Structure 1
Amino acid sequence: MERLPIVVATGEAVREVPPEQAVVSVRSESKGRSRESVLERLTQRSAAIAAVLDQFAAAVERRESAGLHIRPQLKRRGEEVLAYHGSIATEVIVTDFTVLGDLMLKLGAEELTTVSGPWWRMRPGSRAGADVRQAAVTDALEKAGEYAAAVGARVDRLVEISDVLSGGGFGVGGGMMRSMAAQDSQSLELEPELQTVQATVKVTVTISEPTLPGA
């Protein structure tokens, strides 16, 4: 059986969509003469942070402890401990952006607490990725049809679809990052940054026998 000609075409799609999540980092610190006193204060501050997050439970999708650190401060010479420094970090994922500013202000008002963020992002496995991949496939097939029509043929059969780049990838933007400690500001307006979602795919198709000019 005669083998049909093959056409390979690349399709692309890019969309700008609203973010689905905002990531906020919260770090509380403590310093004391004993390890035990530092741990006790960190425990109290962690409980205070948890109480604030409980007030915004409907807006918070997930909260995770991101690390506890305690280190001794030694004298310049020798091993005598002058003090202990400690910190505990929490990562918070927020999905209701209307209260995000209020949440960050309340977290930042806690004693010796630093709040950083937000970092805007799409949800892992977001539907936006699937939509942009489908658009890229459509673009590739349209190009393949144009190539076939240019030689008097038509697309006959799809052979393969493959990603050229990581399909449905989410562009990483700088976002809006703030770092704040306790402050008196009463309001904080945050504008979510649009996220770039993109995909590039390659399709391979067979086409009917071409009809070339002058053939």
Structure 2
Amino acid sequence: MATAPAHPAPEPQPAVPYGTPDAPRIAVRGEAHLEVDPEIARVGITVAARGRDRRSALDDLTRRNATVLDLVKSYGEAVERLETGAFSITPELTRHGRGERVRTYHGTVRITVELSDFTALGELTTRLADLDLTRVDGPWWALRPQSPAHRQARQQAVREAVQRAREYAEALGTSLTALVELADIGAESAQPSPPGAPRMRSMAAYGAPAQQDAPVPLDLEPERQHVHAQVNARFTMAPPRL
């Protein structure tokens, strides 16, 4: 007895990008903008030295660099990160007659300091700026990569997308049935804005006690940070009665 050939299983149909009359789709964008206090402050330090010969310039640079590092480390837990970057010893040439001679040597060391305790920031930057041949740049305010503000912005963007899609569905007299797609289209970024945090106070408790002739600490205002998140979302909804 002959048997009927087995029918092949039906191939899956590709998804319809714009939905169907029985399952219309809604595509929306959700955005969130937060303004929060900074969590860290970065300061750039350039230590310079010079000497008539290479060895004297190097010895002077080593001494000045050690002075800066000791000062920064004296602030203890207020300093979250301390890194040494580029180092250089460069001869400065001068012409005498037909030849060239080394007039002097210049040395530099670049250091980056990251502080999480802003009460010490004004005093530290002022004491650093008071050192000879020492340049201070900053501060640059920022959030940590794992800051809760980033998560809060992403979650708020998702909620905003859901709320917007519901409003569209309600305008058609229907409701959402399922989430089809959720895409993160923009990573949050911290941008400086006008100052808005409490004023800083001077703390002499960190490190060595303040000297009588020490400069008055800078009064620095932390810059508020803007956190931005965006998502694209697609939902299906029950067929509306048009």
- Kept in 1: contact 2:130–2:215 (CA 8 A): no
**2:236 equivalent to 1:206:** yes
Residue 185 of structure 1, CA deviation:
3.0
Distance in 2, Cα, partners of 1:81 & 1:205: 73
Say which of 17, 34, 39 aligns to 2:36: 17
Distance in 2, Cα, partners of 1:171 & 1:103: 24
Moved more, 155-164 or 192-201: 155-164
Q: Give the aligned partner of residue 146 of structure 2.
A: 125
Q: Give the aligned partner of residue 97 of structure 1.
A: 118
Q: Give the aligned partner of residue 105 of structure 2.
A: 84
Q: Give the aligned partner of residue 169 of structure 1.
A: 189
Residue 108 of structure 1, CA deviation:
1.6
The verdict on how the C-alpha distance between 1:61 and 1:197 changes in structure 2, with shifts beyond 3 A counting, is same
Q: Give the aligned partner of residue 197 of structure 1.
A: 227
Residue 122 of structure 1, CA deviation:
0.8
Distance in 2, Cα, partners of 1:150 & 1:115: 58
Q: Give the aligned partner of residue 144 of structure 1.
A: 165
The verdict on how the C-alpha distance between 1:36 and 1:154 changes in structure 2, with shifts beyond 3 A counting, is same
Q: Give the aligned partner of residue 92 of structure 2.
A: 73
**Structure 1 gaps, min length 5:** 176-182
- Kept in 2: contact 1:129–1:170 (CA 8 A): no
Residue 76 of structure 1, CA deviation:
3.8
- Kept in 2: contact 1:171–1:198 (CA 8 A): no
Q: Give the aligned partner of residue 17 of structure 2.
A: none
Q: Give the residue type in structure 1 aligned to 2:220.
A: L
Residue 42 of structure 1, CA deviation:
0.9
Distance in 1, Cα, partners of 2:160 & 2:60: 58
Residue 94 of structure 1, CA deviation:
0.5
Q: Give the aligned partner of residue 5 of structure 2.
A: none
Distance in 2, Cα, partners of 1:173 & 1:86: 36
Count, aligned residues: 204
Say which of 32, 37, 61 aligns to 2:80: 61
1:25-78 Cα offsets, whole Å, 9 max, x none, are: 111111111111111111111110111112111100001002112111111474
Distance in 1, Cα, partners of 2:64 & 2:90: 18
**Structure 2 gaps, min length 5:** 1-12, 14-19, 196-212
- Kept in 1: contact 2:180–2:236 (CA 8 A): yes
- Kept in 2: contact 1:63–1:91 (CA 8 A): yes
Classify the secondary structure of the residue corresponding to 1:98.
Answer: coil
Residue 105 of structure 1, CA deviation:
1.3
Distance in 1, Cα, partners of 2:169 & 2:147: 34
Say which of 154, 158, 163 aligns to 2:175: 154
Flag the structure with larger Rg.
2
Classify the secondary structure of the residue corresponding to 2:90.
Answer: strand
Considering only aligned residues, what root-mean-square deviation do their CA atoms show, in Å?
Answer: 2.0
Classify the secondary structure of the residue corresponding to 1:138.
Answer: helix
